[in-house]
Amino acid sequence: MKRLASLGILASTVFLAVTPVLADTVFLSTQLRPIAEATVVREELLKGVQNPVDYVVEEPPQFAVRMEAERQAGTHTISLVGALHGELSPLADKDGLEPLDDIAKTLASKGMPQPLLGLGKLGKSSQQYIPWMQATYVMAARKEALQYLPQGADVNKLTYDQLTEWGKKMQEATGQPQIGFPAGPKGLMSRFFQGYFYPSFTGGVVRPFKSADAAAGWEKLKELWSVVNPNSTNYDFMQEPLLAGEVMVAWDHVARLKEAISSEPDQYVVFPAPAGPKGRGYMPVVAGLAVPKGAPDKAGAIAVIEHLTTLDTQLLTAQKVGFFPTLDAKLPSDIDPGVGLLAAAVNATQAAPDALISLLPVGLGDKGGEFNKVYMDSFQRIILQNEAVGDVLKAQGATLAKLMSDTKAPCWAPDTKSDGACPVE
Amino acid sequence: MPNNRTWIPYLLILPSVAFLALLFVVPLLQTIWLAVSDNGTPSFANVQRMVGDLNFTRSVQNTFLLTLAVVPVQIVIALAMGTMVAKVAAGRETILWIWTIPLAISDLAAGLVWLSILQNSGYLNSFLYGLGIIERQASWLSYQTPFALFLGIAAAEIWRGTAIVMVVIVAGLNQVPKEYREAAEIFGAGPWTRFFRITLPLIRPALQSALILRTVLAFEVFAVVYALGGRNFPVLVGEAYNWQNQNQNYGVAAAYAVLIMLISLAATMFYLKAIKVDPERLP
């Protein structure tokens, strides 16, 4: 009898622990995961939504697994997802997202730029996600590094040659390599190749993968890498080595530089990534909001999307977490000075006359990781293991070509459009 | 009466058999199938992909090198610690307790502890700089310093994993009857002779268990390496993790998992054959 009673208590506890979650609108996000940021979302960004929202965060790989599990099981608990363009793309490929054309129309009239909204279609005819917030990658340098800038170089219009030159001078003066890249296991180095290095040197990402331009670019990168801190292959977030004084100049995602720059805004300059012979490649990062098919609380999810895309919430988001609005909006002048610096660099990148936009990969489904691996393996072999550029590009090019034909992903900007799978030329 | 009850033992072990089948055998079979199939048909594509990968050979080499470097050192240290503690009368428990502290620390935490020592701005550099031995921060964990990186990882692994070996060996040493040692002393055997001729043969079963346990764990090394070496020091489990987590290719990850299992089984088999335990000493 006693055991029965305790079983009863256990069962009711489990039941009670599970039920309240089902009553709220569950909002699952791969963005704004750190405790401090998640708290901002819960306590400030979601304030003012009528129905209570349960904000849950998940690492990107687990996110994919969970969404797939719910889709296969047919039992849905999540009403709203917030994730990067590339993370939502596999869900859309499996037809797992509700069309959101009505909200898209309203937002277009409120001034959300059409190209940005277009990204949210993920190549389909209906709106798959609503652009939520955006960011990009920039470079940051401690002010004392500026004295070593090569003569005539403007930090806002840097070229790769000048960056190498700058690195050499800093190394001579300080005795240590002072440039850092996030090439660690969780670093975003693959995006450097896809959004910055390849577009700048070849004008494309997939098509010219093994071209002569690419080979020349890799030779230049080898030269640059001789003045890059060798610990770069351990760096995940560049704010840490910047704060620790291990490097003076770094390239990374704005959110992964923010902590260093916000803590000492008067010690840093933030500026666009360098330009190569084909222009100044850059990659906008767009996070979007989407409603999975079968969501238990679709109306609640729509209400949250509407709330997060109001001008006030967007400005608050920029202020608090350093992701920039997707609405065409001016940041207020009293914004956190670090965020202001980052925003100015993002604007300078977008407005640069030689800017060359490179979109996040689309249509790769769950092969996004293997796509990144092609670039990272090339980097490891050419730069770290000093293998012959031509051989590596040929071998990795074959892997890339197979990947593209397996996924049938058409080319995206800056590669010229293709009929069917994007070819490796 | 007794005849009626023959089914009871089977009934009693049924829950654990069902539990094992459900939570161990089924996933195991699924993993094996995942490794040797492609889109639902039998295929070695995943295995080929694994073997052809850039980091495959290096990860196999690194894993074996690390095991070969770490396990013997751990056995020697654990034997020394066990023998020392056997001589201590007062405070024996306290010493054992302190020595087993690394056991209570998770792999990743142990890796992070050593990272805080060995990274550029870490304690080791600060210490050497304070003594005036180095002029500026030296890096120990980069791809340009593979030997220092290997030593760092080996040191962290030895620090973390020796306690478990010691616990097993101390248990073995406790079972060696005092009389043997006393008899040997009477016949004039020195300490080394006593150790090699009496203690070592008598703790064979414990040594065998410790070796199997440690070697299998060494083949599964991951978190410490991941924290200290990142991409610079690929190991088998790390590659399985990368393929599953970052590359989202479950097939190749499963192929790695199966390979690790086969290597572990082979190592266990090797120890069972190589270190013969007298049948009368088996339970």
B55 touches B246 (CB < 8 A) = no
Q: Name which of A62, A231, A232 to mutate to probe chain B: the one with the most chain B Cβ atoms within 10 A of its Cβ.
A: A231
Whether A185 and B142 lie within 8 Å, measured CB to CB: no
What are the Cα distances from residue A21, in Å, to A54, A149, B252?
7, 55, 36
A399 touches A374 (CB < 8 A) = yes
Residue pLDDT, tens place only, B161-193: 899 899 999 999 888 888 888 888 888 888 888
Instruction: Name the helix (H) or strand (E) containing A130.
Output: strand A130-135
| Chain A: closest CA distance from residue B120 (Å) | 7
| Mean pLDDT lowest among A136-150, A251-265, B118-132 | B118-132
Whether A246 and B142 lie within 8 Å, measured CB to CB: no
Whether B137 and A373 lie within 8 Å, measured CB to CB: no
Burial group, residue A153, by CB count within 10 angstroms (0-12, 13-18, 19+)? middle
The reply to whether ipTM tops 0.85 is: no
What is the pLDDT, as a whole number, of residue A9? 55
Whether B230 and A234 lie within 8 Å, measured CB to CB: yes
Extract the tokens encoding A262. Answer: 């916000």
What is the pLDDT, as a whole number, of residue A159? 95
Give the residue on A whose Cα is nearest the Cα of B122.
Answer: A244
Domain ranges of chain B: 20-279
B164 touches B103 (CB < 8 A) = yes
Instruction: Please count the residue pairs, one from chain A and one from chain B, whose beta carbons lie less than 8 angstroms apart.
Output: 65
What is the pLDDT, as a whole number, of residue B188? 86
Phi-psi region of A211 (alpha: psi -120 to 50; beta: other; left: phi over 0): beta
What is the pLDDT, as a whole number, of residue A3? 54
* Mean pLDDT for the stretch of residues A181-208: 93
- The rounded percent of chain A whose pLDDT value lies above 90 is 57
Alpha carbon B102 to chain centroid distance? Answer: 13
- The rounded percent of chain B whose pLDDT value lies above 70 is 96
Whether A370 and B139 lie within 8 Å, measured CB to CB: no
Chain A residue numbers with beta carbons less than 8 Å from the beta carbon of B226 are 185
Residue A238 — very low, low, confident or very high, per pLDDT cuts 50/70/90? very high
* Mean pLDDT for the stretch of residues B105-117: 89
Whether A393 shows a pLDDT value over 90: the answer reads yes
The SS3 assignment for A322 reads coil
What pairs with residue A29 in β-bridges? A57, A82
Asked if A30 has any chain B CB less than 8 Å from its own CB, the reply is no
- Cross-chain CB nearest to A61 (options B135, B143, B245): B245
Extract the tokens encoding B202. Answer: 């008598």
What is the pLDDT, as a whole number, of residue B280? 64
What is the pLDDT, as a whole number, of residue A4? 53
Task: Look at residues A143, A193, A156, A164 and name the one whose alpha carbon lies nearest to residue A272.
Answer: A156
Residue A388 — very low, low, confident or very high, per pLDDT cuts 50/70/90? very high
Residue A252 — very low, low, confident or very high, per pLDDT cuts 50/70/90? very high
What pairs with residue A81 in β-bridges? A28, A290
Give per-residue burial for B88-116: e unless 16+ CB within 10 Å, then b. Answer: eeeeeeeebeebeebeeeebeebbbbbbe
| Chain B: closest CA distance from residue A353 (Å) | 35
* Greater model confidence, A360 or A132: A132
Rg over alpha carbons for chain A, rounded to the nearest Å, is 23
Phi and psi, residue B166, nearest 5°: -65, -40
The SS3 assignment for A274 reads coil
Whether B282 shows a pLDDT value over 80: the answer reads no
Mean pLDDT, chain B, integer? 88
Residue pLDDT, tens place only, B218-234: 999 999 999 898 888 99
- Cross-chain CB nearest to B142 (options A233, A244, A377): A233
The SS3 assignment for B125 reads helix
- Residue ranges and CATH numbers for the domains of chain A are 23-133+284-328 (3.40.190.10), 136-282+343-424 (3.40.190.10)
Class of CATH domain B20-279: mainly alpha
Cα gap A291→A28, rounded to integer Å:
10
CA angle A298, A303, A309 (to 5 degrees): 125
Chain A residue numbers with beta carbons less than 8 Å from the beta carbon of B231 are 183-185, 233-234, 380
Task: Look at residues B63, B229, B76, B235 and name the one whose alpha carbon lies nearest to residue B152.
Answer: B229
Asked if B54 has any chain A CB less than 8 Å from its own CB, the reply is yes
Mean pLDDT, chain A, integer? 88
Cα gap A282→A163, rounded to integer Å:
16
Residue A268 — very low, low, confident or very high, per pLDDT cuts 50/70/90? very high
| Bond from prior residue into A414 cis (ω within 30 degrees of 0) | yes
Q: Name which of B143, B225, B233, B250 to mutate to probe chain A: the one with the most chain A Cβ atoms within 10 A of its Cβ.
A: B143
Residue pLDDT, tens place only, A310-323: 989 998 898 888 78
Cα gap B210→B166, rounded to integer Å:
8
Phi and psi, residue B50, nearest 5°: -65, -50
Extract the tokens encoding A44. Answer: 């400030």
Give the residue on B whose Cα is nearest the Cα of A61.
Answer: B245
Asked if B139 has any chain A CB less than 8 Å from its own CB, the reply is yes
Cα gap A349→A357, rounded to integer Å:
10
Extract the tokens encoding B224. Answer: 């410490």
Whether A233 and B246 lie within 8 Å, measured CB to CB: no
Instruction: Name the helix (H) or strand (E) containing A190.
Output: helix A189-192
Residue A351 — very low, low, confident or very high, per pLDDT cuts 50/70/90? confident
| Mean pLDDT lowest among A8-12, A241-245, A283-287, A295-299 | A8-12
Instruction: Supply the pTM of this predicted model.
Output: 0.82
Whether A1 shows a pLDDT value over 70: the answer reads no
A374 touches A395 (CB < 8 A) = no
Give per-residue burial for A155-177: e unless 16+ CB within 10 Å, then b. Answer: bebbbbbbbbbbbbbbbeeeebb
Q: Taken in order A136, A139, A142, A146, is the CA torsion positive or negative?
A: negative
Burial group, residue A16, by CB count within 10 angstroms (0-12, 13-18, 19+)? exposed
* Greater model confidence, A2 or B77: B77
Cα gap B170→B77, rounded to integer Å:
12
What count of other Cβ atoms lies within 10 Å of the Cβ of residue B176? Answer: 17
| Mean pLDDT lowest among A147-161, A325-339, B118-132, B256-270 | A325-339
Whether A11 shows a pLDDT value over 60: the answer reads no
- Cross-chain CB nearest to B231 (options A175, A184, A369): A184
What is the pLDDT, as a whole number, of residue A20? 45
* Mean pLDDT for the stretch of residues A43-56: 91
DSSP A146-177: GGGSPTT--GGG-BHHHHHHHHHHHHHHHSS-
